[in-house]
Amino acid sequence: MRKTTIPARVFYLADGGTRLPPQDAATGGYGLVSTQSGIRMAVGGSHRTVQPRSGRPLRRSLLAAGFSLLILMATVAGELHGDDLAVPASIVVARIDGQPIYRATYTEVLRRAGYDAATTQQERQQIAAKVVEELINEQLIGQLLKENGVAVTSSEVDAMIASLRSQLSARQQTLEAFLQESGRDESMLRKQLATELGLNKLLVPRLTMERLQECFEQRKQEFDGTRLRVSHVVLRPDSAAGDGAEAALLEKAADIRREIEEGRMSFVEAVGRYSAGQSRLREGDLGFIPRHGLMHEAFAAEAFRLAAGEVSQPFLTPFGVHLVTVTDVAPGRGSLSAARGEVQKLLASELLREMLEAKRASVEIAYSAGIPHFADAVGSDRPRTVVVEPANEGSGGE
């Protein structure tokens, strides 16, 4: 990716770009959802899935592999116009090939993403960088759809609106009440649904049976019902330790892992000396866990990357900094046909990420001074670094 930036200072070594404040939501945008007709997007609320009055989710979010689209469709900034290149830099947070992302849009999405509820400067910078990244993704997706000749008609969007009304009516809720609860208006919803339809047209033809089978075989443990017996060391930050607490714990966990790997301490001994969780009374044992549904996603994802006996790199969840090891494996027997929806969701997400990464490499992205953004790519195994370009006094990104 080509970027126009001035020398930056590293602000925060973030945790892979996937952690938000403890609500740990998809920040209110789209979740890829597998249906019989293809891949669709869940219509979420501000930073959660809106619950109809029945208490059941309207659709189940199947957000994959840490990829989410905020696309809160903050139309507060309006549409782009021919004179956008002349827009003062003070009201722009970034430009993609000269096209601006407006500060008003950025500020509104920050609000909906839980920025004001974040308790540390690190969390705020992490959220802000994620917002910028996904607002850029929104523009890049529009370019991808156009380049691939994907068009969505008003009648197609009308049909989706009608279907949504029907779903809500069956739960004794109106579309108007749903929109009010989710913080949208109908024009925002129509834009969101048009993007959903466009992505469906772009991705579904690429989800061939051969690709699905290959994805299933490569990541079989994620889909076939395999359960892992895991143990962990968890380090919890002192709330009074300030903004550097999590980074310090990541370094401490790395030192602990190094001692284990060098044979100077066993994993069980590390649990006894350092772990803050109740599981330390069981030598860190958490029992058998499935890939989905029981543990926090970041925790389960890390565990299922490991071979038996391997110790993970340090990683963060809302519960602290973890080291995980696998002590036993209970193989699953599930088939592709049983897991097809999950495999479709994961493959669609990975295909879209690949397309976005290729698109980013072909455009010039310039960040305004004071705006936090990630210095490295999505999908990196190492923690993602957040940088902030030096800003003149009074022109910060917050």
What pLDDT is recorded for position 35?
44
Nearest Cα to 192, choosing from 152, 221, 220? 152
Q: Please give the average per-residue pLDDT across 157-183, as a whole number.
A: 92
Q: How many CA atoms lie within 13 A of 47 on its CB side?
A: 21
Per the CB < 8 A criterion, the answer to whether 83 and 39 are in contact is no
227 has pLDDT over 80: yes
Tokens of 17: 């770009």
Per the CB < 8 A criterion, the answer to whether 344 and 207 are in contact is yes
Q: Please give the average per-residue pLDDT across 235-261, as a whole number.
A: 85
Per the CB < 8 A criterion, the answer to whether 173 and 11 are in contact is no
Geometric angle at alpha carbon 27, from 22 and 28, rounded to 5°: 130
Per the prediction, the chain carries an average pLDDT of: 78
> Which residue has better confidence, 43 or 369?
369
Q: Please give the average per-residue pLDDT across 85-97, as a whole number.
A: 74
What pLDDT is recorded for position 89?
52
What pLDDT is recorded for position 387?
87
Max Cα–Cα distance, the chain, nearest Å:
67
Helix axes 186-203, 154-169, angle to 10 degrees: 110
Q: Please give the average per-residue pLDDT across 99-110, as a whole number.
A: 90
What pLDDT is recorded for position 9?
28
φ, ψ for residue 301, nearest 5 deg: -60, -45
135 has pLDDT over 90: yes
Q: Is 4 helix (H, G, I), strand (E, B) or coil?
A: strand
DSSP strand pairing (315-317 vs 364-367): unpaired
Which pLDDT tens digit goes with each residue over 293-342? 899 999 999 999 999 999 999 999 989 999 999 999 999 999 999 999 99
- Please, which residues have CB within 8 angstroms of residue 18's CB and are 6 or more apart in sequence? 66, 297, 298
Nearest Cα to 98, choosing from 111, 81, 73? 81
Q: How confident is the model at residue 288 (pLDDT cuts 50, 70, 90)?
A: very high
- Per DSSP, helices labelled H in 320-394 are 336-361
> Which residue has better confidence, 183 or 130?
130
What pLDDT is recorded for position 241?
62
Tokens of 381: 């195994």
Q: What is the pTM of this model?
A: 0.68
Q: How confident is the model at residue 286 (pLDDT cuts 50, 70, 90)?
A: very high
Which pLDDT tens digit goes with each residue over 349-383? 999 999 999 999 999 999 999 999 998 766 544 55
The rounded distance, in Å, linking the Cα atoms of 158 and 178 is 17
Geometric angle at alpha carbon 163, from 162 and 164, rounded to 5°: 90
Amino acid letter, residue 95: R
Q: Please give the average per-residue pLDDT across 27-54, as a whole number.
A: 38
> Which residue has better confidence, 239 or 271?
271
20 has pLDDT over 60: no
Tokens of 356: 């976005």
Radius of gyration of the chain (CA): 22
What pLDDT is recorded for position 243?
63
Q: What's the topology of domain 227-330?
A: Chitinase A; domain 3 (3.10.50)
Tokens of 323: 């080291």
Amino acid letter, residue 338: A
56 has pLDDT over 50: no
Among 16-25, 104-113, 228-237, 370-379, the minimum mean pLDDT is found in 16-25
128 has pLDDT over 50: yes
Nearest Cα to 29, choosing from 53, 52, 45, 12? 45
214 has pLDDT over 90: yes
Among 109-113, 251-255, 264-268, 287-291, the minimum mean pLDDT is found in 109-113
What pLDDT is recorded for position 126?
87
Question: Where do the domains of the chain lie?
Answer: 2-210+339-388, 227-330
> Which residue has better confidence, 37 or 106?
106
